Amino acid sequence: MIRMSDKLPEPPATVDRARSFGAVAEAYDRGRPGYPAEAAAWLAGGEAKVVLELAAGTGKLTRQLVDQGHAVFATEPDEAMLEVLRERVPEVSAKVATAEEIPANDRSVDVVVVAQAFHWFDHEAALPEIARVLKPGGHVALVWNSRDERIPWVRRMGAILGRQDLDTSSAEHLVHSDLFGFMEETTFKHWQEIDRESILDMARSRSSFAVMDEAERERHLAEVLAFYDDFGRGMDGMRVPYVTRCYRAVVVDRDEPPSHTDHPDGSDDEGTDGPVVSDGTDTDMLLIDFR
């Protein structure tokens, strides 16, 4: 297992932003959109999987995965975020941990999923850890909710709130890694209903907001409310359109030569049978707090 001391150094600003969400955990949970059920199903790639969710936040995706019947284990580096997840999804085993040092045995999970967080990872350290814990035939799945800025008023919202969510380029780390095969991708569309209060939570949930000083925060929230008063529908709220961008790639079995024709459902271009689906009873992942 890779140890924290082996991590490559990160720029201080990146560390500050990545670890800033705990201070706004409740706002994050109230203000951020969930994920379409069909997106969660695509990410997991089948039924009765043992799923490890990294950087699980407040459990926005976790709830969907549990409701679809998966045995889910969650990790999150921020204790405040994880406390909200434990309240929202109490049946899930959850532990404070990072993607760069995963508290799980080798080849112990069917799927590793990351929602709205892969861009924060130290990929040189995290990708080998993800590959290590995946069973042969298992896959990693990434997802981001991005506002649909083809619509002019949504573009104006993005100019105020920031556009970090539009950047899914970190998924390219999978393409260039020899630890994973062919990367599939797809998109789903959905809407988030917000009102004059929840748009403030949406603003407060941004990493950029979390590192502002008090005066900057007040100015920013006033700008957000002015935007809502121009474009919202008062008591009827506002419907924000999202595109959910999903990616997945099968781990390369270390005992087999690399193949870039594998797919997360266990099939390949030559029609060979996929792996046996785990129902969670055979996992040897149960370590430390995962009990």
Eight-state DSSP code of residue 7: S
> Does position 283 have pLDDT exceeding 70, yes or no?
no
Identity of the highest mean pLDDT range in 7-11, 28-32, 276-280, 285-289: 28-32
Picking from 210, 239, 153, the residue whose alpha carbon sits closest to that of residue 28 is 210
> Does position 212 have pLDDT exceeding 90, yes or no?
no
Displacement of CA 235 from its chain's centroid (Å): 31
Q: What pLDDT score was predicted for residue 80?
A: 92
Eight-state DSSP code of residue 275: P
> Does position 5 have pLDDT exceeding 90, yes or no?
no
To the nearest whole number, what is the mean pLDDT of the chain?
Answer: 82
- Rg of the chain in Å (alpha carbons): 19
Picking from 17, 82, 22, the residue whose alpha carbon sits closest to that of residue 53 is 82
Q: What pLDDT score was predicted for residue 278?
A: 36
Q: What pLDDT score was predicted for residue 9?
A: 34
Confidence of residue 22 (pLDDT cuts 50, 70, 90): low
Q: What pLDDT score was predicted for residue 6?
A: 33
Q: What pLDDT score was predicted for residue 26?
A: 83
Residue 190: helix, strand or coil by DSSP?
strand
Q: Which of 4-18, 84-98, 145-159 has the lowest mean pLDDT?
A: 4-18
> Does position 247 have pLDDT exceeding 50, yes or no?
yes
Q: What pLDDT score was predicted for residue 256?
A: 54
- Between residues 287 and 3, which one has the greater pLDDT? 287
Q: What pLDDT score was predicted for residue 162?
A: 85
Sheet of 180-194: strands edge to edge? 93-96, 71-76, 50-54, 109-115, 134-147, 238-251, 180-194
Q: What pLDDT score was predicted for residue 205?
A: 83
What residue ranges define each of the domains in the chain, with the CATH number in brackets?
4-146+164-189+245-251 (3.40.50.150)
Q: What number of other Cβ atoms are within 10 A of residue 216's Cβ?
A: 12
Confidence of residue 269 (pLDDT cuts 50, 70, 90): very low
For 40-83, how does the pLDDT look when each residue is reduced to its tens digit (9 = 90+)? 999 999 887 999 999 999 999 999 999 999 999 999 999 999 99
For 148-177, how does the pLDDT look when each residue is reduced to its tens digit (9 = 90+)? 999 999 999 999 998 877 789 999 999 999
Confidence of residue 11 (pLDDT cuts 50, 70, 90): very low
Question: Model's pTM, two decimal places?
Answer: 0.80
Confidence of residue 274 (pLDDT cuts 50, 70, 90): very low
Please tell me the distance from the alpha carbon of residue 68 to that of residue 281, in angstroms, as a whole number. 17
Average pLDDT over residues 176-196: 96
